[in-house]
């Protein structure tokens, strides 16, 4: 299981690196960026409903779920209060990388990696759905982070070091998630899933959709959201059918 998970983790890690390098020459328009944000929001919502919440509920540990969800909300609220840029700076082409944004990206990747590890360690769970979710986020993180760094005059080597560091965080999270299930720590796993659920909801409504709307709102935004949601649900259903056979 660990080897299989590590093999599949090559995909999102490779996407982070490739999209980051490609950002040196490829700069998507605001419209395309907004579509990508809403597509990613749809994917996260689908993964939350089909994978994360069910994994937390099957453990039937209500206090652990409440505790984990509360931890996730408080953590993201503190991050937003202490580090997030004011509303007028969202989508500002001259923004810089701050400590808050680095912590935000790191926590997000750690949580996604954690969910990948949990999904691969549980029999009949759809680990590939979480890989797909992480891969979609990897495009946004890799290209978005690299564009800001390049715009601020950072050399390629600096960009690569940061991208590799974030990739290591994602992989470390996946190993941690795998170990949680391996040790049969049901309460801790339930807390981790609930915390991840709260953080994923926060990322969707306080980051992805906010960033998308900051670039203008069109009908294609809603369409891309439902396409992303439908794609993740379809993938989950196909994997469940494959496991059942």
Q: What is the DSSP string of 48-59?
A: IIIIIHHHHHTT
Q: Is 212 a residue whose pLDDT tops 60?
A: yes
Torsions phi, psi for 141 (to 5 deg): -70, -50
- Using an 8 Å Cβ cutoff, are 219 and 31 in contact? no
CA angle 100, 101, 103 (to 5 degrees): 65
- Maximum alpha-carbon separation in the chain: 53
What pLDDT sits at residue 94? 56
Q: Is 244 exposed, middle or buried (0-12, 13-18, 19+ CB in 10 A)?
A: exposed
pLDDT-based confidence at residue 226 (cuts at 50, 70, 90)? very high
Question: Phi first, then psi: what are they for 95, rounded to 5°?
Answer: -65, 160
Average pLDDT over residues 48-65: 76
Three-class SS state of 44: helix
pLDDT band at 14 (very low <50, low <70, confident <90, very high): very high
Task: Give dist(CA 54, CA 224) in Å, integer.
Answer: 25
* Helix, strand, coil shares, percent, the chain, to 5: 85, 0, 15
Residue 242 pLDDT level (bands cut at 50, 70, 90):
low
């Amino acid at each position: 299981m660990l080897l299989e998970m590590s093999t599949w983790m090559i995909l999102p890690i490779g996407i982070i690196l490739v999209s980051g390098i490609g950002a040196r020459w490829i700069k998507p328009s605001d419209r395309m960026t907004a579509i990508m944000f809403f597509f990613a929001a749809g994917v996260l919502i689908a993964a939350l409903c089909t994978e994360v919440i069910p994994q937390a509920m099957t453990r039937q540990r209500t206090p652990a779920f409440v505790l984990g969800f509360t931890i996730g909300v408080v953590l993201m609220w503190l991050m937003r209060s202490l580090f997030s840029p004011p509303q007028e700076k969202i989508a500002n082409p001259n923004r810089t990388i701050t400590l808050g944004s680095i912590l935000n990206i790191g926590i997000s990747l750690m949580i996604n990696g954690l969910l990948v590890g949990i999904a691969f360690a549980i029999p009949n769970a759809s680990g590939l759905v979480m890989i797909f979710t992480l891969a979609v986020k990897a495009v946004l993180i890799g290209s978005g982070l690299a564009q800001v760094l390049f715009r601020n005059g950072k050399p390629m080597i600096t960009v690569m070091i940061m991208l590799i560091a974030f990739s290591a965080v994602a992989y470390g999270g996946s190993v941690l998630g795998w170990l949680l299930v391996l040790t049969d720590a049901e309460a801790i796993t339930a807390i981790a899933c609930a915390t991840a659920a709260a953080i994923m909801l926060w990322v969707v409504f306080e980051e992805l959709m906010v960033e998308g709307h900051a670039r203008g709102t069109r009908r294609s935004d809603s369409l891309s959201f439902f396409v992303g949601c439908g794609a993740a649900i379809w993938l989950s259903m196909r994997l469940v059918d494959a496991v059942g056979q």
